[in-house]
């Protein structure tokens, strides 16, 4: 089952020039959803993962069922002000402006092996910020996993330059 064929492209959303890769069409397909989660579970089954960390909000949809299948805990990385207990945050640059992600300081124990999950990697800025938060609280990143990579935007290369391993189920070129 080709995952890629179930992903819908919306041109010029949320702004002119962006080809938005919409995974809602993949998620609503019962086989599509199952294949995504099963493929990732198969890949990570023997990698001794301790925690799956998902990035708000589409990373939650993929990360939580994956953690369930791997038999490990799930940790959310969220936008500012959403997590109720003590947090640390990381600010990062967007194409226009800045953004910030936060994690609970007690979400990961020192030395735990972490799988970082999001739906898509574009510039890699969000994943890099998330990875640095995980490391700050003592986690070791085993790999960063995505449903979609946009290779032309260069996020994978950027993460790899920083020493992170990257895996994606499919790629969209020319974005």
Active site residues: 58, 95
In total, the chain counts a number of residues equal to: 175
Least Å distance, CB 109 to ligand AMP, is: 26
Complex with ligand AMP: residue 13 or 109, whichever CB lies closer? 13
- Annotate each residue in 121-160 with x if it binds ligand AMP (CB under 6 A) or - if it does not, as one string: xxxxxxx---------------------------x-----
Judged by CB under 6 A, the number of residues near ligand AMP is 18
Complex with ligand AMP: residue 25 or 109, whichever CB lies closer? 25
> Taking CB under 6 A as the rule, does residue 18 contact ligand AMP?
yes
> Taking CB under 6 A as the rule, does residue 21 contact ligand AMP?
yes
- Annotate each residue in 91-120 with x if it binds ligand AMP (CB under 6 A) or - if it does not, as one string: ---------------------------xxx
DSSP line for the chain:
--GGGG-EEEET-SSTT-EEEETHHHHTSHHHHHHHHHHHHHHHTTTT--EEEEETTHHHHHHHHHHHHHT-EEEEEBSTT---S-EEEEEEE-SSSEEEEEEETTSS-TT-EEEEEEEEESSSHHHHHHHHHHHHTT-EEEEEEEEEE-GGG-HHHHHHHTT--EEEEEE----
Residues in contact with ligand AMP by CB under 6 A are 18-21, 55, 58, 118-127, 155, 175
């Amino acid at each position: 089952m080709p995952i890629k064929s179930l992903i819908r492209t919306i041109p010029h959303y949320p702004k002119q020039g962006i080809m938005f890769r919409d995974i809602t069409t993949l998620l609503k397909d019962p086989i599509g959803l199952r294949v995504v989660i099963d493929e990732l579970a198969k890949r990570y089954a023997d990698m001794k993962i301790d925690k799956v960390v998902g990035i708000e909000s589409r990373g939650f949809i993929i990360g939580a069922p994956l953690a369930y299948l791997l038999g490990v805990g799930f940790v959310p990385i969220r936008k500012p002000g959403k997590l109720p207990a003590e947090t640390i945050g990381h600010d990062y640059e967007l194409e226009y402006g800045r953004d910030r992600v936060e994690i609970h300081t007690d979400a990961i124990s020192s030395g735990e092996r972490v799988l970082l999950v999001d739906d898509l990697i574009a510039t890699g800025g969000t994943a890099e910020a998330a990875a640095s938060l995980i490391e700050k609280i003592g986690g070791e990143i085993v790999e960063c996993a995505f449903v979609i990579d946009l290779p032309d935007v260069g996020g994978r290369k950027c993460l790899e330059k920083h020493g992170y391993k990257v895996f994606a189920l499919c790629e969209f070129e020319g974005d």
